[in-house]
Chain A
């Protein structure tokens, strides 16, 4: 019994207190107010009179260990080795006041984008896509890179009427739950999985494959020792492929991108709300997804030109009405825009009061 070292388990998260910069440890819970000093710099002031400066940069989320080491080196050079990641994949440094300019200059010299604070576009929350996921309908990092190459100035310099939160999920399972974003880029499948009858019997357990379908679309096919899929019941979740690798759901021309807008999580001015479908389908066109980039840019620009200050995209659309939104953006309204799933009736309008042009 004594020959094996005891496995250490159930440690949980390490104690956050040992990672706090001294200025934060000292003023924890005592912050009084903050000021934004630029798109990438802010100052927090404590009741003790202490000041904390934060400088923020964008990361590509998918990073190498050498990237992390570079962040560490910068933190060691300018702020005692302390650094933080934000919930939107940005990195923050905490320099002393007299180091803010030197740090910012150093970051820019290294090619990093300083910004992401206040009214504009912060980093894009996104999923794995073709990098690692088995059910994606599009890539994640590539689409984000293409979109933000076009919109990066809203991160670094340009302002918008309010925050525009962009998020991407590479299939409708939304492991990056994007459904409350100002602009949600969502990968969609449009065809049910294909049944690979040659391999299914060897590779998959038929009863568990059938049980994996949330809508009961899969049934046994005794003739081929395989399964059948009722196409009209499939809602493309890919869970059967998770269970059974002989049911691939990806399809080069069936898969693509849809765009939802107007969601938010903040309760400021009005409650959090879900994003709504505005563009049902755009093709996968790697490496730069020009249709998607153009659509997102267009949505941002129409919003920027029409919304009032502080108005999030959803608030703006609610003020002007959806009929005017579709007119202003020139996006065609189709059958796909009208919900026909579980919560459909909640979305139907029950009033004859419209804004006509």
Chain B
């Protein structure tokens, strides 16, 4: 078949309303043979319906065990530009805010050493630079660090923590998500770059129960903002909303705890029954606001399926005050890691370890007390374990 340089299948994906990644690769291919051969090998995958990449595990920058993913193609003679096609993960600033100056500097570095193709951003939140060769890694690292940037995590590391936009632009933020993310990233630099865990560990920080970072699904440690006191109500604004929406049906009727009532004039909330789900606040942000006693719920264990099936994080601390420099959170995370290091098997995520060892082992070693908020309901089975000394 050979590499004839034609890409009819991909060309078809230049059409249509949605922005086209094929156009992007073609733009990069004008400047880079790596991007040109990326287009060619991708077309081959479209023909063959299989991938043409192999994993490589021994590439990186000196001293780090994370931040670079090794990749080689299985057709290096036909597509020499992508014979080596390693990925570089660059740790982004919290909240993904950038200045054009900083981004253009990064683009210049990447054009000099790589394919010019990127993901903004990868699944964990890193800036992903797709496609370079082993001998370019140290020069890339030297240039990005000179501009104040560093690599993100990969492998059995702390992965690059990420957060929602939080207090930068969201009135729902109960915690300073961006600052927490930034502070944790800096406290845990060693853990981020030098893999010493049984497997990966992800931290995501969301400012409210809407969970815009999908922390509950995608992070071993999910930090989700909440409040403890009463929802703040502006009754005049409630009245304004009542001309735009059916408050009885859309707000009161959809409240999961049935803690509200509306008489056409004022909205009443029985805050003792409210579980702070965010529905009413989402719908009437001008009238309703979270309370003032703010903090976060800390949850543990979320992950994708490998190995025992996907997990969503569960509560380990119902409410934690989070104020800079967040030493209470750091302390908890370090204790959790110590317990995981001690007991975890190779490739066992912390949530799976809780499954295997039980909550009690984790709670005892971190000093967290058992509380009802940790369970949907207490156990039903009677096979209850008693520790030595508990039976007197």
- Cα A196 to Cα B110 in complex, Å, equals 37
Indicate if B64 sits at the interface (CB-CB under 8 A). Answer: yes
11 contacts between A and B (CB under 8 A): A7-B141, A12-B189, A13-B181, A18-B99, A28-B168, A34-B170, A67-B27, A84-B95, A130-B51, A132-B71, A248-B50
B169 and A266 form a contact (CB under 8 A): no
Cβ of B218: which chain A residues have Cβ within 8 Å of it?
177
The answer to whether B133 has its CB under 8 Å from any CB of chain A is no
Question: B94 and A24: CB pair below 8 A?
Answer: no
| Inter-chain contact B9/A287, CB cutoff 8 Å | yes
Cα separation A164 to B60 with both chains bound (whole Å): 39
Q: Does A125 contact B (CB under 8 A)?
A: yes
Residues of A within 8 A of B38 (CB): 131
Residue of B nearest to A126 (CB): B123
Instruction: Name the B residues within 8 Å of A287 (CB-CB).
Output: 9-10, 12-13, 46
A159 interfacial by beta-carbon distance below 8 Å: no
In which size bucket is the chain B interface?
A: 35 or more
- Are B28's CB and A65's CB within 8 A? yes
State whether A59 touches B185 (Cβ < 8 A). Answer: no
Q: How far is it, in angstroms, between the C-alpha of A172 and the C-alpha of B190 when the chains are bound?
A: 30
Alpha-carbon distance A191/B19, docked complex (angstroms) = 34
Q: Which 6 A-B pairs have the closest CB atoms?
A: A149-B16, A72-B100, A250-B50, A130-B45, A174-B304, A267-B209
Q: With a CB–CB cut-off of 8 A, which chain B residues contact A145?
A: 13, 16, 18, 20-22
10 more A-B contacts (CB under 8 A) besides A16-B168, A65-B110, A91-B120?
Answer: A10-B189, A12-B189, A64-B25, A65-B111, A87-B212, A134-B53, A152-B17, A270-B277, A287-B12, A309-B250
Evaluate contact between A13 and B173: CB separation under 8 angstroms.
Answer: no
Given contacts A10-B189, A132-B130, contact A82 B97 (CB under 8 A): yes
B104 within 8 A of A: yes
Q: Mark A160-174, 1 if CB is under 8 A from B, else 0.
A: 000000000100111
A59 touches B120 (CB 8 A): yes
Judging by beta carbons under 8 Å apart, are B101 and A81 in contact? yes
Q: List the one stretch of A219-227, A239-247, A298-306 in contact with chain B.
A: A239-247
B17 contacts A29, CB within 8 Å?
no
Instruction: Determine the distance from Cα of A273 to Cα of B214 in the docked complex, in whole angstroms.
Output: 11
List A contacts of B35 (CB < 8 A): 64
Q: Are A72 and B104 in contact (CB under 8 A)?
A: yes
State which of B260-268, B306-314, B334-342, B358-366 sits at the interface with chain A.
B306-314
- Kindly identify, within residues 242 to 271 of chain B, every residue whose CB is under 8 Å from any CB belonging to chain A: 250, 254-256
B321 to nearest A CB, angstroms? 16
- Contact, CB under 8 Å: A177 / B123: yes
**Does the CB pair B16–A66 fall under 8 Å?**
no
Which residues of A from 82 to 119 have beta carbons under 8 Å from B? 82-87, 89, 91, 111-113
Q: Is the CB of B118 within 8 A of A266?
A: no
How big is the A interface, by class? Answer: 35 or more
Which stretch from A135-143, A330-338, A348-356 is at the chain B interface? Answer: A135-143
- The CA-CA distance from A339 to B94 in the complex, in Å, is 39
A247-291 residues at the B interface, CB under 8 angstroms: 248, 250-253, 255, 263, 265-270, 272-274, 284, 286-288
The answer to whether A113 and B101 have CB atoms under 8 Å apart is no
Q: Could you count the A-B residue pairs with CB atoms below 8 Å apart for me: how many are there? A: 351
1/0 per residue, CB under 8 A from A, across B159-187: the answer is 01010110111110100101101100110
The reply to whether B119 and A61 form a contact with Cβ atoms under 8 Å apart is yes
A73 at the interface (CB under 8 A from B): yes
Residues of the A chain whose Cβ atoms lie less than 8 Å from the Cβ of B141? 7
Interface-located stretch among B144-152, B325-333, B367-375, B377-385: B144-152
Contact B100 A66 (CB under 8 A): no
B156 located at the interface, meaning its Cβ lies under 8 Å from any Cβ of chain A in the complex: no
Rounded to whole angstroms, the CA-CA distance of A9 and B87 in the bound complex is 19
**Does A231 make an interface contact (CB < 8 A)?**
no
Closest-by-CB residue of A relative to B49 is: A252
Using a CB–CB cutoff of 8 Å, the interface residues on chain B facing chain A are: 9-10, 12-13, 15-22, 24-25, 27-28, 35, 38, 42, 45-46, 48-55, 57, 62-64, 71, 74, 85, 87, 91-104, 107, 110-111, 116-121, 123, 125, 130-131, 141-142, 145-146, 148-150, 160, 162, 164-165, 167-171, 173, 176, 178-179, 181-182, 185-186, 189-190, 192-193, 209-218, 250, 254-256, 277-279, 282-283, 285-286, 289, 302-310, 312, 346-347
Contact call A179/B305, Cβ cutoff below 8 A: yes
Which B residues are CB-close (under 8 A) to A268?
209-210, 277-279, 282
Write out the residue numbers on chain A whose beta carbons fall within 8 Å of the beta carbon of B94. Answer: 13, 16
Chain A residues positioned under 8 Å from B91 (CB to CB): 12-13
A41 interface residue per 8 A CB criterion: no
**Quick check: is A320 within 8 A (CB to CB) of the other chain?**
no
Taking a contact as CB atoms under 8 Å apart, the answer to whether B93 and A44 are in contact is: no
A12 contacts B186, CB within 8 Å? yes
In the complex, which of the residues A60, A146, A169, A269 contacts B256, with contact meaning CB atoms closer than 8 Å?
A: A269
In angstroms, Cα B310 to Cα A87, docked, is: 21
- State whether A13 and B150 are in contact (beta carbons under 8 Å apart), knowing that A29-B176, A66-B28 are contacts in the complex: yes
B53–A61 touching, CB < 8 Å: no
Residues of B within 8 Å of A64, CB to CB, are 24-25, 27-28, 35, 116-118
Most chain A CB within a 10 A radius of its CB, from B27, B103, B215: B103
Pair A65/B116 contact, Cβ less than 8 Å: yes
Q: Give every chain A residue within 8 A of B16 (Cβ-Cβ).
A: 145-146, 149, 152
Q: Are B19 and A60 in contact (CB under 8 A)?
A: yes
**Contact (Cβ within 8 A) B10 A180:** no
Contact, CB under 8 Å: B100 / A73: yes
**In the assembled complex, which residues on chain A have CB atoms less than 8 Å from the CB atom of B179?**
16
Contact A255 B50 (CB under 8 A): yes
Chain A residue, CB-CB nearest to B251 = A310
Residues of A within 8 A of B305 (CB): 172-174, 179
Return the chain B residue nearest A89 by Cβ.
Answer: B120
Chain B residues with Cβ below 8 Å from A206 are: none
